[in-house]
């Protein structure tokens, strides 16, 4: 089975001790592609270097937890899959987050690049921003919004990523979202090193987990 981990922070220090082994395990598990999203300007070079070293894809952006000026992002995107990780989060000041998100969305639209979106607790606000564009292809990483908003996001050209949380039996809201997303808009993600799968709570997630996540999603949608 050929698998794609659409969201793994393989450049994070949590993988420094055994990054070679992590990539090797992913390959053995059938994971042929991994997208490494950048989170802040000070680590963009590291994100690019790690992705290049292992022949992976990468995106660059400013995450709402690490607010900063986007600076020379446009010049840094040569060879990048897309713009991100960027978005909105209930943590922090909304106006400050919007001031950083807006130029990233505009840049993605101008360059014709997909976006890697983070959104927690502010889906109405994110949709209001996306409504300024007729299309905004990309992925809503670890989708946490209401089932009712799936069609609105899909109409903009967005796909939906799901990770280790789908393997938790008690995650009923996540399961409902997985069932609501059209098959051709479903993406798998490890969200490494976070969002560990069942049986590894509190531990690290990694791309090799994608095979189990895929099997769990298949079971949920068949039920």
Q: What is the 3-state secondary structure (H, E, C) of the chain?
A: CCEEECCECCCCHHHCCCHHHHHHHHHHCCEEEEEEECCCHHHHHHHHHHHHHCCCEEEECCCHHHCCCCCCHHHHCCCCCEEEEEEEECCCCHHHHHHHHHHHHHHHHHHCCCEEEEEECCHHHHHHHHCCCCCCCEEECCCCCCHHHHHHHHHCCEEEEECHHHHCCCCHHHHHHHHHCCHHHEEECCCECCCCCCCCCCCCCCHHHHHHHHHHHHHHHHC
* pLDDT for position 197: 73
Residue 24, token pair as written in the block: 């090797």
pLDDT score at 198: 64
Cis previous bond, 9, omega within 30? no
Q: Which stretches of the chain score pLDDT less than 50? A: none
Q: Please name the residues in contact with 79: beta carbons below 8 A apart, sequence gap of 6 or more.
A: 48, 58
- CA–CA dist 179, 221 (Å, integer): 5
> What residue ranges do the domains of the chain occupy?
3-222
Q: List the Cα angle 97/186/11 in 5-degree steps.
A: 55
Q: What's the half-sphere exposure (Cβ side, CA atoms, 13 Å) at 24? A: 4
CATH placement of domain 3-222: 3.20.20.140
Rounded CA-CA distance 82/51 in Å is: 13
Q: 161 has which bridge partners?
A: 187
Give the β-pairing of 3-5 and 186-188. Answer: unpaired
In the prediction, which pLDDT does 202 show? 62
Q: What is the pLDDT of residue 195?
A: 81
């Amino acid at each position: 089975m050929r698998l794609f981990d659409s969201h793994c922070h393989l450049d994070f220090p949590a993988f420094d001790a055994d990054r070679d082994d992590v990539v090797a395990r992913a390959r053995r598990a059938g994971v042929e592609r991994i997208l490494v999203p950048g989170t802040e300007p000070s680590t963009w070079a590291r994100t690019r270097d790690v992705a290049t070293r292992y022949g992976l894809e990468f995106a660059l952006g400013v995450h709402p937890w690490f607010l900063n000026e986007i600076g020379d992002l446009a010049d840094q995107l040569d060879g990048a899959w897309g713009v991100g990780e960027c978005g909105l989060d209930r943590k922090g000041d909304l106006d400050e987050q919007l001031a950083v998100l807006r130029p990233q969305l505009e840049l993605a639209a101008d360059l014709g690049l997909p976006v890697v979106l983070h959104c927690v607790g502010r889906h109405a606000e994110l949709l209001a921003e996306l409504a300024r564009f007729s299309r905004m292809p990309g992925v809503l990483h670890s989708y946490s919004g209401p089932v009712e908003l799936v069609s609105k996001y899909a109409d903009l050209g967005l796909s939906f990523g799901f990770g280790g949380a789908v393997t938790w039996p008690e995650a009923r809201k996540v399961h409902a979202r997985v069932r609501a997303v059209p098959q051709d808009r479903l993406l798998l993600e490890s969200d490494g090193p976070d969002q560990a799968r069942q049986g590894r709570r509190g531990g690290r997630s990694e791309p090799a987990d994608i095979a189990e996540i895929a099997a769990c999603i298949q079971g949920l949608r068949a039920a």
